Structure 1
C-alpha cells in the first residue's frame, strides 16, 4: 500500500541538503540489492539546489554512478546549452563533476530544439518516449518507461509539477508517457513533460517545495484539490519535503534539519 508523508525543514537550503542526503542513502541502499537504478531529476531553484548539495555531499562517492541512469521530468523546448534548460543547469550543478564516474550513455536529457531533426516539442516528446521505452522492463504491466526508483518534482505556486500546468490541455494527457506542452503560463511557452501516468510508475515520488508563495497550493494539494501536484504519487511512497514557509498552511511536525532513514 502506498504511503504519503510530509516533512518540514527550516528553509530552502535545508530542504536541498536533506533531500541530497536522502538520495545518497536511497541509492546506496538500492544498489546493495540491484542495478541499475533510475532517478528522475527536476529543475527549479530547489531542484538544482539538491543537485549542488549532492555534488558536495561526503557520501556522494559511495554511489556507483556507473549503475545510475538519470532522466528528467520535463524540459523547456530550447536549443542545446541554453542556460534555461534543466539539463544545462543540472550539468553545471552536478553532472559535469560526475563525468569521470557517470557514463554519458546513462544521462538521458530531453532532445533540444534543433538537434537531430527535432523541430517541434512533438518531435522531442516522441523521441523521449522512444528512449524511455528502450529502457523499460520487458513485459512489465505498466507504461513503457524504466522502473523509476525516485522521481524528484518541484511544484509551482499554481500547483503544477513537471510541465503539467492546471488547465493546460497537456495536464491530463493519457495513453502516453511524454507530452508536448504549448501555451505554458510561464516562459518559454513550449515544453516537453512526462505525463502523470509515467510519473506515477515510480516507486517513490519526492516533491521538494520551498517558498511562502507555494503554501496555499501545498495545502490544497494535500487536501486533494484538483491540482497536478495532488495527482502524483509513488507506487510505494510519496514524500513532501517542504521548507517552513511552504508548510505554513498545513499541520506538520516542527521543522527539523535531520532526515529520517526512510
Structure 2
C-alpha cells in the first residue's frame, strides 16, 4: 500500500520562540519513505533530534514571524497486521524494560482510574480478546464530535462525556488497555480514510512481543497508516509544541492512495 501525504501548517509567531515540530513520516522498517520534502521559512536555529523510542524525527526551530511549513511524501506501508483478538498478552513480569512506561498512568491516560471499570466491562476477556473488546466498546459507545474536547481533556473526561476526537478515542483506548496490564502507547499517524482529513491519532498495543496499531475510531486500518511518532500520550507527539506564543492561522492534511 502506497500513500501520498501532504500537510501544511501556518502560524504567526509574534515574539522569538522555540518550536518543536514532528510531522514527517518516520523512516522505520514497517514503512518505506519513497520521497519526502519539507519546506520551512528562514529560522534562527534548526536541528533534528530523534523522536520518542527512536521512532521518527523531531525538529527544533527558533524563530520569530510567520511560520509556514509544507510537507509532502510518498510512503509505502509494509506493516505486520493480525487479528488482535487472537493474540496473547505478555505477562507483566516478562515485559521488556522499554515497555514498562506504557503500563503506567500518564498525563492524559490515568489508567489507574480505570481498573474497576475494565473489570466490570471486560472481566471475562484477556489478552488480545480484551483489547478487541475495548476497541469495539469504544466504537459502539463514543461519538466522534469535532470541538468536543480541548488540550486539558483526559481519558476519564472522554469516558464520562462519551464523545471526542481521535486523540480522545486513543487516550481512552490506551487507558483501558493499560488498566488491563497490557502496554499501550499513543501513535501519531497519517491515516487513509480519516474524515475530516487531519493529523490522526491511534493506539499501539504490545501483544505477543510485538506492537500492533489499533484505531478506536474505526476510520483507518494499520496497513493504511503512515506512522509519525509514538509516546505515552498526545503530549509526547504533538505535531507542534511551542515554547512561546504561536497563533495558528491554518492547517491542512491530505492523504490519498497511490496506484
TM range (shorter): under 0.3
Structure number having the greater helix percentage: 1
Structure number having the greater strand percentage: 2
Structure ranking higher on relative contact order (CA contacts 8 Å, 6+ apart)? 2
TM-score (norm 1): 0.27
